[in-house]
Amino acid sequence: MAPASMPPEPEIARLLAELACATAERDTAIAERNAVVEERDAAVEERDAAVEARKVAAAQRDAAVTAKKKLAHKVLELEHRLGLLLQRLYGRSSEKVDPRQILLEFARAQEEEAAALPTPPDGDEAPDGEARPEGAEKQGREKQGREKNGKKGHGWGRLPADIRRERVEVAPSDADLVCDCCGGQRTSIGSPEITERLDYQPASVFIVETVRHRFRCPKCQDGTAIAELPPPPIEAARGRAEAGLLAHVAVSKFNDHLPLNRQCEILEREGVEISRSTLGDWVRGTAELLRPVAGAVLEDVLTRPVVGLDETGVRVVFDKHDPKNGTRNARIWVYRGLPGEVYFTVSETKAKDDIDGPKTVLAGFRGFVQADAAGTFDDLFKDGTRLEVGCNGHARRKFFEARKANPQEAAYALATYRKVYEIEARVRDAPPEERLAARQTETKPILAAFDAWLDELVASGLLVPGTPLATAVGYSRNHRVALRRFLDDPRL
């Protein structure tokens, strides 16, 4: 076939012109698109600016709300300072404050209500803020009297009757034994003077050598007899330790709160070098050895009608050189039955997620569980097989913390709990029937009046959310059933 002929030059020129026109149109379209994009970006920026302005407005609003709350707290503080001023001007210099007088000065209650208030506690609070039981003040005075009389105070306390004594004989010199008058020899007379001083002998580390002799028949020379090696207390990959050293390490760590690294330093002063990891293996092995004992303790705890339960958060250090990732949160679960029956478990998970936590340990328990009002324990009481017993010590402590901001309300609450504690101290060792009767006839009316006062306080609208008093009132009202359960059962 003949090759295709080229288009004429005018045709090429026309095509080129059309191409140039199309290119120009394309560039125009691109420019228009870019303009639309710019307009869109501008609209987005305006929208973002509006959003930011809204956030600023919300922040200003939150700041205003916070300022309002601070102002309310300031009002409470000024009221407290006014109360102190009135006390200085018209009250006694003693720190004992009568809530009836405070309510009268501030006109917050009727005269008959003020007259019905219980006598407030004096300033002699227990170290942890708990009320002192009846007789404690008298015991304290007697203790101070004994100390003043020299019977107890400085010096030794009570020593064990079977304490080891080492006798050191001290004799005069030969010159002092010569009589100054006749030159004869002085002899011992009467009973000697004995001076006692308390001393301490540091614990010693020693090696126990287990020697096993081998025996063989001298005639036959066949077969060797050797005693079986007694098994070690624990099987440790590193180091060999006897029961005494294992017990010392465990008691020092858990009872005396001596970390393993400090125990390493103490042993090193005795010339014994043992790594911390080895001590850790020993502690782990000792714990495994005592696991049956712990299980028996738990079995006894779960047979009791009341089980005390508490949770304590701790930080477990794995690498002290890595503050960010070298520690993890852990929890210690404590279960208590009778005095002395205490079972511990440790985990790194929350109660509802812990396979060895309270839900598992108390799965078969039917009875009362006394615990604080932490949400961690809520799942234990959903099925109704376990009854929650609240801790009135926690409830009282919250009012004790509110005594500065709201002295009159806190004083009334503390006085109420003081009366309850005095009744409990009086019947603590009484028969169950007598203890239950005292709670029903004496304690129950006191707490009923206290609960009514709490309800009236909430209805008055005077509580400021977030303040110590509001927290204390909310705690007592939200957990009222659990806090009052002890009134109907003398075992609680």
Task: Count other Cβ atoms within 10 Å, centred on residue 343.
Answer: 20
Lowest-pLDDT range of 91-100, 145-154, 253-262: 91-100
Those residues with Cβ within 8 angstroms of residue 152's Cβ, 6 or more apart along the chain or in another chain: 143, 146
Phi, psi of 312 (to 5 degrees): -130, 125
Mean of the pLDDT values across residues 441-468? Answer: 87
> Residues 424-451: pLDDT tens digits?
999 988 898 999 999 999 999 999 999 9
> Residues 163-183: pLDDT tens digits?
888 888 888 888 888 888 887
Check: CB of residue 451 under 8 Å from CB of residue 459. Answer: no
Check: CB of residue 373 under 8 Å from CB of residue 478. Answer: yes
> Residues 30-81: pLDDT tens digits?
888 888 888 888 888 888 888 889 998 988 898 888 888 778 767 765 664 5
Radius of gyration of the chain (CA): 41
pLDDT at 252 over 90: yes
167 secondary structure, DSSP code: -
What torsion do the CA atoms of 287, 288, 292, 297 make, to the nearest 10 degrees? 30
Banded model confidence at residue 149, pLDDT cuts 50, 70, 90:
low
Task: Count other Cβ atoms within 10 Å, centred on residue 371.
Answer: 22
What is the distance between the alpha carbons of residues 48 and 46, in angstroms, rounded to a whole number? 5
What is the distance between the alpha carbons of residues 398 and 391, in angstroms, rounded to a whole number? 12
What pLDDT shows up at residue 94?
A: 41
Tokens of 439: 């709670």
Task: Look at the chain and count its residues.
Answer: 492
Secondary element (H or E) of residue 346: strand 342-347
178 secondary structure, DSSP code: B
Locate the DSSP E strands across 180-275. 214-216, 224-226
Alpha helix ranges (H) inside 91-135: 99-106, 111-116
Locate the DSSP E strands across 260-339. 306-317, 327-336
Return mean pLDDT, the chain.
79
What is the distance between the alpha carbons of residues 214 and 374, in angstroms, rounded to a whole number? 65
Task: Count other Cβ atoms within 10 Å, centred on residue 122.
Answer: 13
How much of the chain, in percent, has pLDDT values that exceed 90? 16
185 secondary structure, DSSP code: B
Check: CB of residue 411 under 8 Å from CB of residue 472. Answer: no
Alpha helix ranges (H) inside 391-484: 392-401, 407-427, 432-438, 444-459, 468-478, 480-483
Give the three-state DSSP class for 223: coil
Tell me how many helices (H) and strands (E) the chain has: 15, 7
Check: CB of residue 492 under 8 Å from CB of residue 368. Answer: yes
Strands 342-347 and 224-226: unpaired
pLDDT at 26 over 80: yes
Q: Specify the amino acid at residue 37.
A: V
Alpha helix ranges (H) inside 91-110: 99-106
pLDDT at 129 over 50: no
What pLDDT shows up at residue 146?
A: 47
441 secondary structure, DSSP code: I
